[in-house]
């Protein structure tokens, strides 16, 4: 199924990976290299594949995009992402299942779906122009992980 002008919503997976840092925890952000919203900062993730669980998709996407192996996953939220073209037709639609996870200590490395990644302080996210839903998921992840 085409991701652009799909016949039905696509299941997307996102992960708020948090790591403790002196004073203020950090969250892993990626700069998207592909549509929708190329060049924007976001939580890492991607589309779930046929035959894989949502948790398996989260682990695969983080490994592919960031080179990280995740420990325990916590279901954080679901988000609807609908992008319409100028004529009002649905160009992209994702139902995103977001997880929260603690960083396990590996070095993060940008994969081919992202142009760069970084650890951002959770109290200094305004400069990254994150989608309001990403900010909501990060807040939920902090509560779930008590960080």
- C-alpha 147/C-alpha 143 separation (Å) is 7
Q: Burial of 141 by CB count in 10 Å (0-12 exposed, 13-18 middle, 19+ buried)?
A: buried
- C-alpha 39/C-alpha 107 separation (Å) is 22
Q: What is the pTM of this model?
A: 0.93
Q: What is the pLDDT of residue 84?
A: 96
Residue range 10-145 forms a domain whose CATH class is: alpha beta
What DSSP string describes 114-139?
EEEEEEEETT--GGGT--HHHHHHHH
Q: State the chain's mean pLDDT as an integer.
A: 95
Query: Which candidate, 34, 25, 3, 40, places its Cα nearest to that of 121?
Result: 25
pLDDT tens readout for residues 8-39: 999 999 999 999 988 899 999 999 988 777 89
């Amino acid at each position: 199924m085409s991701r652009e002008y799909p016949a039905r919503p696509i299941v997307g997976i996102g992960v708020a990976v948090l790591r403790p840092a002196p004073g203020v925890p950090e969250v892993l952000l990626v700069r998207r290299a592909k549509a929708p919203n190329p060049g924007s900062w976001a939580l890492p993730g991607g589309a779930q594949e046929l035959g894989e669980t949502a948790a398996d998709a989260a682990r695969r996407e983080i490994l592919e995009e960031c080179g990280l192996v995740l420990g325990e996953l916590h279901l954080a939220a679901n988000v609807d992402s609908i992008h319409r073209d100028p004529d009002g037709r649905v160009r992209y639609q994702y139902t995103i299942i977001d997880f929260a996870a603690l960083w396990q200590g590996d070095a993060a490395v940008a994969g081919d779906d992202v142009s760069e990644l970084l650890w951002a302080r959770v109290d200094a996210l305004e400069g990254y122009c994150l989608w309001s839903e990403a900010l909501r998921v990060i807040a939920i992840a902090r509560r779930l992980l008590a960080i």
